[in-house]
Every structure is written in C-alpha cells, then in structure tokens.
C-alpha cells in the first residue's frame, strides 16, 4: 500500500539483516556466520549473490527508525524481539544498515499482511493509532513498537549497504520466549 505522500519520514532509516543471509546470499566473499566481521560492505539489500553474481532477489526491503527522542535497541536479542524478527535464528548475529531516504526519493509502502506473506509475527497497527506507516510487533508482548515501511528496492538499486554488527563485541541473538503469537490480535 503506497505511503501517503504527506507522511513525515526521517531522512535516515535502517534495515536489519541477519548474519546467515549476509554469509549465504549477500557477501561476495566468505563470511563466517558464527564469527562475522564487525563491519561488511554489501550489495543493494534487495539483491542476493550466488556464485559471485549479484541479482535482484526481492522487490522490497523493510526499513525502520527510532522516533525523535528514542533509539533502537543495541542488543541483538532486543532487536529481534522488538522488530518482530522471529525468523532470525538464536545464535546468529544482526547487521544494521543505514539507509538514506532524504534525496533518494524512493517509493515507500506501508506493509500489509500480504507483504509479510501472512507471517505469524506480523500485526497491523492497533486501532486508533494515527500513524501513516506500519509498526513492528514486539514478540514478547504483542504490542506495536517501532515505525516501519517497505522501500522499493530498485529506487536504491545502485546503493551498496554498509552493515555494522548490532551489540557490543560479537553478541549473538539469545533465546526469545514467545508465549503466544496471537497476543494483541
């Protein structure tokens, strides 16, 4: 669903990628999934690399940001939990990639359940919330958390990404206890 052109989207947002995807699909060089480098240069995030060849893999990628006066968590387990990334495996790592929105003029879209492929951790914003974008869903509480949008990947096709590991040192994702994916529905 296209974003209302009047919505105030920040000039910078971030995308998150787990170390498994970086090692298997994004990096043109060998990356140890269990001991990844702190920083990696990646091709555009809507692509995958197979056999050294980079090709478009998906139309969109997800972005999020912290509203003024707040900050996204810097603990990979909290990132997984607060951004609803249930598909990020325990013991892996998360890379955060800054995305410049200002000046890029990308097409932005509000995520729907169809974009999330009916994913069980997806949830619409709660009733009565006057936001112009989606909100992530906390896996532990079921509550809406951080703003999120989809970016048309071809709009940023020539923009390689720089990924920085989330967390101090090399901190893997720990166990996240989720009692009920139907929380808050």
Q: Where are the domains of the chain?
A: 12-165
CA-to-CA separations, 2 to 49, 115, 119, 137, 144, in angstroms, rounded = 28, 12, 20, 20, 20
Rounded CA separation 176/76 (Å): 11
Report, as an integer, the average pLDDT of 109-135: 75
* pTM score, whole prediction: 0.87
What digits encode the pLDDT tens for the residues 4-47?
765 678 888 999 999 988 888 887 788 888 889 999 998 887 77
Q: In Å, how far from its chain's centre is CA 44?
A: 14
């Amino acid at each position: 669903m296209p974003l209302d052109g009047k919505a105030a989207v920040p000039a910078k947002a971030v995308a998150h990628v787990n170390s498994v995807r970086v090692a298997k699909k994004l990096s043109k060089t060998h990356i140890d999934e269990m001991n990844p480098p702190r920083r990696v240069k990646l091709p555009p995030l809507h692509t995958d690399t197979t056999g050294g060849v980079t090709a478009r893999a998906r139309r969109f990628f997800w972005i999020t940001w912290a509203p003024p006066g707040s900050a996204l968590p810097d603990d990979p387990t909290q990132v997984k939990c607060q951004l609803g990334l249930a598909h990020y495996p325990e013991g892996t790592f998360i890379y955060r990639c800054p995305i410049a929105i200002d000046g890029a003029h990308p097409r932005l879209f509000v995520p729907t359940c169809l974009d999330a492929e009916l994913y069980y951790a997806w949830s619409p914003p709660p009733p009565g919330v006057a936001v112009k974008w989606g909100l992530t869903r906390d896996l532990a509480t079921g509550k809406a958390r951080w703003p999120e949008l989809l970016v048309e990947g071809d709009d940023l096709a020539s923009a390689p990404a720089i990924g920085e590991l989330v967390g101090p040192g090399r901190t893997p994702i720990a166990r996240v206890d989720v009692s009920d994916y139907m929380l808050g529905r």
